[in-house]
Amino acid sequence: MMRLRLWRRDLVCQQAVELVTDYLEGELTRSDRRRYEAHLAGCPHCTEYLAQMRKTIELTGTLTPDDLTPQMQDDFIALYRQWRADSPTD
């Protein structure tokens, strides 16, 4: 009986964009990774798309946390002191 895989044609772009996260996460099977990379080799648009997904992740990672306002910092100090005061262990 012929295996399904032999019937599968090369990836098209619409399928390739759905594989990007699995590719970046290292979760593609070896054969799917080969098919994806073979598609990239012949497709500048999907290559650009992958670069953009990598850049998107990188940009998200540059976001720095907002700092506490002085008021909120005071609230947390009060919360801590209250806990210390209530804490039976000291």
Residues 29-88 that bind other proteins (CB under 8 A): 45-46, 48-49, 51-53, 55-57, 59-68, 72-73, 75-77, 79-81, 83-84, 87
Alpha-carbon gap, residue 7 to 50, rounded angstroms: 26
| Radius of gyration of the CA atoms of the chain, in A | 25
For residue 57, give the H/E element and its range.
helix 44-61
Residue closer to other proteins (CB basis): 2 or 83: 83
- Using DSSP's 3-state secondary structure scheme, residue 18 falls into coil
Q: In the complex, which residues of this chain contact other proteins (CB under 8 A)?
A: 12-15, 17-18, 20-22, 25, 27, 45-46, 48-49, 51-53, 55-57, 59-68, 72-73, 75-77, 79-81, 83-84, 87, 90
